[in-house]
Amino acid sequence: MGYLFALIASLLFGLNGSTTKVVIEAGISPAQLTFIRVTVIAVMAGIVLLVSNRAAFRIDRRQILVMAVLGIAGVALIQWFYAIAISLLPVGIALMLEYGGVLLVALAARFIFKERVKARIWVAIGAVLVGMAVVAQVWASTLNALGVLAGILAAICLAVYFLIGERQVQSTSALAVSFWSMLFASAFWLVFSGWWNIQPAVLGRQTSLGGNLADLSFPLWSVLLWNGVLGSFAPYLLSYLALGRLKATAAGIVSSSEVIFAFLFAFLWLGEMLDLVQAVGAAIVLVGIVLAQTSRADKVIDLDLASQDLTGPKVSLTS
């Protein structure tokens, strides 16, 4: 069941990359979408905690400060940078760039926190750097430079997210960390997202799913609802359930399939394709990611976008 939960979570996260791109192309800015996503997750996590663990709402001043840093640097900004990257790059490539943050976490563990890191990290670094260079085709500059920069910044934020988050989860539950980090992320974007510029009429407008699904259209509010509930909260919850049944390393390796799902759905849905050389580069990056995730001794380096995306430590991110 643990592997099944982790796999379904990765599938939903991978699918949500294409959903995010459709929403942005419909007229919702990356900052506005990020505000909507983190707010939905904070509300739903808060409801679950209200029923199951009310003690999680009581934290001290030091924890509040740490959660604020985690929420802004590790959640609010990472989802924003990822949304920008997705708007300018193919979905799979944007997610792959963000996954580069796994390397930064391992390097910080080795040189800042003096943890024992296995020698395979150096192979992982080489594989990811070479693979990304091939995917980006740096010799031809075929990718949008701003999109690549946004993906790299998302990777840096991802590293911050893990370095702070995986230590916080030791003193409280993953769902509590998710709630507090999302709450501060929501408060940040409440001020800076420009959500008030969203016209109510826009939310009711029929939105084409684009690409190979261009003939299908739904009200924009329903696509946003999918993005927040089934594309964000549900996969995070499944990730937590998986971590309760699997070792962290095993869950992390399964979560790497998110990149594969992102490429697959972007191809089937949006018609985004890689040429043969880029496909080889993507495969090299995936090998590097798996090696990096298993390089820290008895530590967790698992991802989510948006992805993390990102609602808490030790889970798959997105986007």
Q: Are 88 and 144 in contact (CB under 8 A)?
A: yes
pLDDT score for 301:
40
Q: Are 190 and 43 in contact (CB under 8 A)?
A: no
Query: Is the model's pLDDT at 46 over the cut of 50?
Result: yes
Angle at 72 between CA 70 and CA 78, to 5 degrees: 95
pLDDT score for 248:
47
Give Dmax over CA atoms of the chain in angstroms.
56
The sign one gets for the Cα dihedral 241, 285, 108, 59 is: negative
Burial (CB count within 10 angstroms: exposed 0-12, middle 13-18, buried 19+), residue 144: middle
Q: What is the pLDDT of residues 265-319, one digit of tens each?
A: 888 999 888 788 888 888 888 888 778 767 766 544 444 433 344 333 343 344 4
Structure tokens at 152: 């790299």
pLDDT score for 304:
40
Distance CA 163, CA 111 (A): 13
Burial (CB count within 10 angstroms: exposed 0-12, middle 13-18, buried 19+), residue 44: buried
Structure tokens at 199: 């016209």
Query: Is the model's pLDDT at 34 over the cut of 70?
Result: yes
Q: What is the pTM for the complete model shown?
A: 0.77
Q: What is the pLDDT of residues 136-184, one digit of tens each?
A: 666 665 788 899 899 999 989 888 877 787 677 667 777 888 899 899 9
> Kind and range of the H or E element at 144?
none
Mark out the alpha helices in the chain (DSSP H runs): 2-25, 30-52, 61-71, 77-88, 91-99, 101-111, 120-136, 145-168, 174-192, 200-203, 220-228, 234-243, 248-255, 257-265, 276-293
